[in-house]
Structure 1
Amino acid sequence: MPASQPENSSTAPQSGTAAAIRPNASGVVITGLGVVSPLGNSPSELIERLRAGESGIRPFTQVPTSAFSVSNGAEAVSFTGHINDYGPLEKALQRTIRKGSKVMCREIEMGVAAAQLALHHAGFSPEVFDRDRTGVVYGCDYIMSCPEEYSAGIAACTTDGEFDFTKWGELGLPKVNPLWLLKYLPNMPASHIAIYNDLRGPNNSITLREASGGAAIAEAVSTIMRGHADALVVGATGSRIHTLRTLHASMQEKLAADCADPATMSRPFNTDRDGGVLGEGAGALICESREHAEARGATIFGEVIGYGTSATGPAAGDRPLQVAIANAILAAMRSAKTAGHGETPVGHIHAHGLGDVDLDRDEAEAINEIFGDVASQPPVTTAKGHIGNLGAGGGMVEIISSVQCLGGDLFPIRNLDQLASECSINAAQGNSVSAGDSFISVNVTPQGQSSAVWIRKA
């Protein structure tokens, strides 16, 4: 487990069979991809629309636009929660998921759907996967209940516009669905995925905001390399578009102001950037030991060669987020070197690229600190100009987009018309920038928790 693994990670007890240790793997590879995003629900559609410069930012439909400081965000509009959004499934599994949807909020539904799509993409079947050695590591935001869960109970305790709390136990609580909490627990994506597919191996839930996806990959690689599993469903899901979550973000974060054209709101590293854009989505990978993947003849889309995590606070100095980003990238590079991959050229960097004035500057400084000036840096891109900040799901969706680019062209940073002078990076502009054969993806939270992963073409 990474030395800086967050304290709020939780590992479910392993069965005796699943915990059996086999010799360490020689490497961890990616054999399946699944995604739910503002630019579509397949990896191919996502990368096609990113390369075409499309934006997933549009007027809100899920929250009341008159109640917040912004009226636009990046909703995953093609995800409806219908069983068809989960990909090809056997009839029995379709019935099980439909029944389970009663205790899955939208974030959990997106996470489960991305996982099912990844399992299908990888060719999952019990004939080639040992269920006792196949598990789940999933990242998630903390999930907030919807106010309407309590509306009937509150109404029952309200007289002439005044809420009487003394009536709650007798009149209000009985009107709340007794299973309401199951819809909002952040460990439920990993739980549902394991239960639906009878995956009995290690099961871990990580709640680390935007850094969740990278931290989940780090934990998955560590788990497989130490011999505790042959394969893991590794993903993350999140949403910033929710009545209370959007309200909190409006009050606590620097959000980009509404524009006449919402597609121009997210402007990472641009001279006139003014904040992040709220979004939602989920992504999942199937990670296997190289031996397991090759033995079953799987298509390999990439190999994880390094990972790192970090957490910083005010004691780190005036720019703790810069330190956190640099620490995570350096840790990923050190782990790759330890594994014998230190000479691998970095083809591109997938930056956090939030569009926040201070954070973009700090991230650019971290990149300069590690890779040198613009002339010596690999190209830098970010998907947030297209899809905004998807919370815990963003890092994984961004990683999937970069995996799709390996060996081909990189998509440019959207809305980057004039690179800010304080953001001295080798920004990808135009459609003819090579993505190279490897990339480092980095994400960071406002609280200074960061994760980075280094993935190369198989």
Structure 2
Amino acid sequence: MAGSNQTRVVISGIGVVSPIGIGIDSFWRNISSGVSGIDRLQSIPIENLPSKLAAEVKDFNPDEHLYNKKFIKVMSRDIQLGVSAASDAVKNAGIKRGTVDPERFGVSFGAGHIPTTPDELVEAVNRCAADDSFEITRWGEDVLGQITPLWMLRQLPNMPACHISIEHNAQGPNNTITSQDSSALLALAEAMRWIKRGAVDCMVVGACTSNINPVDLSRKNLIDLLSRDEDPKRACRPFDRDRNGTILGEGAAAFVVENYDHAVRRGAEIYAEVIGLGAGCDGSSDEQNDTGLMRAVESAVRQAGIRPSELGHINAHGKSTKIDDQVEARAYHRLFGDDAVKIPITALKSYFGHFDAGSGAVELAASILSLRHGATPATLNYETPDPLCNLDIVHGEVRPLITPTTMSVSRTSFGQSAAAILRAI
């Protein structure tokens, strides 16, 4: 697209807080070395949980990443992860106060469901108890006043975007996307539209989620398809014939998304150019419907103006459940025909599990870094091909990235899908 009159959109900063590394250097080092972040759950008791494994972010200290440390007390774990990743991305992009016009600096950030933790409400609930019964009327009469007025700020999904804008004086457009796994890519699409129409020069984009809390872990064990394996080294195996469920995790990734000309003028290091974005929704609750995913990928490829053979890899949604992986594989075959088996595919939830909005952002970070390093990470635990997922799954070892163009794909349980295509500059 060089030399065209169209506004070009690039990635000029990356921040990652993940189970396999905090910061892009340790993250890429571990993912390219096949180091998994999945292990036995350590932060809460696991005796009564059917799925006893998780991918936790270890050695995370928000004090090391956040400028406004006074806000930490009103940040849930999710928010801390997201704001920290954004701070690292802005620093990585070389943006300081005055580098970007505040009114042309915005935020579009994804977030998942942020539950409260039992210890935050246990005292209030105890006050409603009387003679082994629960008196709901006491909640309004007396107990509500015992809860700190700032309690809700820890659960609101728009708070990551709010804290990020305050931290970096980003006074431009500000929005939150709450569309589960597809949130990060939808946020990227929104930022791209704002930049292309000249409303902003620069955006902070990303997503964050932590499923590592008692409420989410209990809920997900009841409603989601989680692996019951005891061996963390083999538990999450996308597209493998013997896969039996996903693993919960936590993490966040953030990106500085910028007008190409603006990035060049300030001397920014550019990681990749965003050349195609697509979204689609199945429009039904049928979990085997692949229409939305097909529309998302088809739109991204058309916008990028490339052939399937020009994709260096697809960073798949790869949730590691029987149905999800088969639906995704079918969508690629319906779209690309015989070319579907020729495109290298990696599935990185095998490293850090599934964590709603945040996992889509961390996967996108991996695809961008693969462009930088010219390599596609291997899918872990892929041992026995599933004949219903006939794809070229990169496994065993890192594979050279032959074509410097990658696509990252996300799909939600209710059928919302998104796809982003990036290429090296």
| TM-score higher than 0.5 | yes
Paired residues of 2:111 and 2:357 also in contact (CA < 8 A): yes
Answer whether contact 2:74 2:150 (CA < 8 A) is retained: yes
Q: In the TM superposition, what is the alpha-carbon distance from 1:313 to its structure 2 partner?
A: 3.4
Alpha-carbon distance between aligned partners in 1 of 2:96 and 2:139, rounded to the nearest angstrom: 49
In structure 1, C-alpha distance between the alignment counterparts of 2:341 and 2:52, rounded to whole Å? 40
TM-align CA RMSD: 1.8
Mapping of residues 106-255 of structure 1, within 5 Å: 106-255=77-226
How many angstroms apart in 1 are the aligned matches of 2:314 and 2:78?
A: 27
Is this contact kept in 2: 1:38–1:78, CA < 8 A? no
Aligned 1:418-457 pairs, distance under 5 A = 418-435=384-401, 436-457=403-424
Q: CA deviation at 1:258?
A: 2.9
Match of residue 245, structure 2, among 256, 275, 299: 275
* Residues 333, 340 of structure 2: 8 Å contact kept: no
Task: For structure 1, list consecutive stretches of 5 or more residues without a partner in the other structure.
Answer: 1-23, 87-92
Q: In the alignment, which residue of structure 2 is the partner of 1:396?
A: 361
1:123 and 1:344, CA in 2 relative to 1: closer, same or farther beyond 3 A?
farther
After superposition, give the CA deviation of every residue in 1:104-159 in whole Å (9 maximum; x if it has no partner).
10000100000000000000123321111001010001211112221111112212
In structure 1, the partner of 2:291 is 323
For residue 374 of structure 1, report the CA deviation from its aligned partner: 6.2
The answer to whether the 8 Å contact 1:25/1:290 transfers is: no
The answer to whether residue 7 in structure 2 is matched with residue 41 in structure 1 is: no
Choose the corresponding residue for 2:261, options 287, 291, 299. 291
Same amino acid, percent of matched pairs: 36
Is contact 2:367–2:407 with CA below 8 Å preserved after alignment?
no
Following the alignment from structure 2 to structure 1, what is the Cα–Cα distance between the partners of residues 345 and 80? 32
Provide TM-score, normalisation by structure 2. Answer: 0.95
Return 72-81 or 272-281, whichever deviates more: 72-81
**CA displacement 1:190-240 (0-9 Å, x = unmatched):** 001101211101111100101111111111111100111000000100122
Q: Is the 8 A contact 2:165 2:171 kept in 1?
A: yes
Counterpart of 1:360 in structure 2 is 325
The superposition leaves residues 39-61 of structure 1 with CA deviations (integer Å, 9 ceiling, x where unpaired) of 01111211211121111111222
Q: 1:21 is matched with which residue?
A: none
Q: Aligned letter for 1:122?
A: A
Q: Is the 8 A contact 1:239 1:280 kept in 2?
A: yes
Q: Which of 283-292 and 55-64 deviates more?
A: 55-64
Normalized against structure 1, the TM-score is what?
0.88
Question: Aligned-pair distance for 1:98?
Answer: 1.7
> For the residues of structure 2 that align with 1:402 and 1:193, how far apart are their CA atoms?
24
Give the equivalent residue in structure 1 for 2:337: 372
CA contact (8 A) 1:139 1:237 kept: yes
Q: Contact between 2:287 and 2:414, CA under 8 Å: does it hold in 1?
A: no
Aligned to 1:13: none
Shift of 1:76: 0.9
Q: Which amino acid aligns with 1:77?
A: K
SS of residue in 1 equivalent to 2:420 = strand
The correspondence for 2:376, drawn from 407, 410, 421, is: 410
- Kindly state the Cα deviation for residue 78 of structure 1 after the two structures are TM-superposed: 2.5
Which of residues 334, 353, 373 is equivalent to 2:302?
A: 334
Contact 2:251–2:359 (8 Å) recurs in 1: yes
SS in structure 2 at match of 1:254: coil
CA drift at 1:253: 1.1
Secondary structure at 2:376 match in 1: coil
Distance in structure 1 (CA, Å) of the matches to 2:280 and 2:211 = 23
| Residues 1:75 and 2:56 are matched in the alignment | yes
Note if contact 1:156-1:172 (Cα within 8 Å) is conserved in structure 2: yes
1:429 deviation in Å? Answer: 2.0
Task: Give the secondary-structure state (helix, strand or coil) at the position aligned to 1:68.
Answer: coil
CA distance in 2, matches of 1:318, 1:167: 42
1:25–1:226 Cα contact (<8 Å) kept: no
SS at 1:150 equivalent: helix
- Kept in 2: contact 1:409–1:431 (CA 8 A): no
Give SS of 1:396's match.
helix
Corresponding residue SS for 2:399: coil
Q: Of residues 24, 31, 39 in structure 2, which corresponds to 1:50?
A: 31
CA distance in 2, matches of 1:286, 1:65: 38
Counterpart AA for 2:156: L
Q: Is the 8 A contact 1:36 1:282 kept in 2?
A: yes
C-alpha deviations, 1:32-83, integer Å up to 9, x for none? 00010000111121121112111111122233212322111001112233x1
- 1:250-265 alignment runs, 5 A limit: 250-259=221-230, 261-265=231-235
Instruction: Tell me how far apart the structure 1 counterparts of residues 197 and 114 of structure 2 sit (CA, whole Å).
Output: 31
Specify the SS of the correspondent of 1:66: coil
Q: Which moved more, 1:28-37 or 1:168-177?
A: 168-177
Q: Does structure 1 conserve the Cα–Cα contact (< 8 Å) formed by 2:288 and 2:323?
A: no
Is 1:385 equivalent to 2:350 in the alignment? yes
Q: CA deviation at 1:419?
A: 1.2
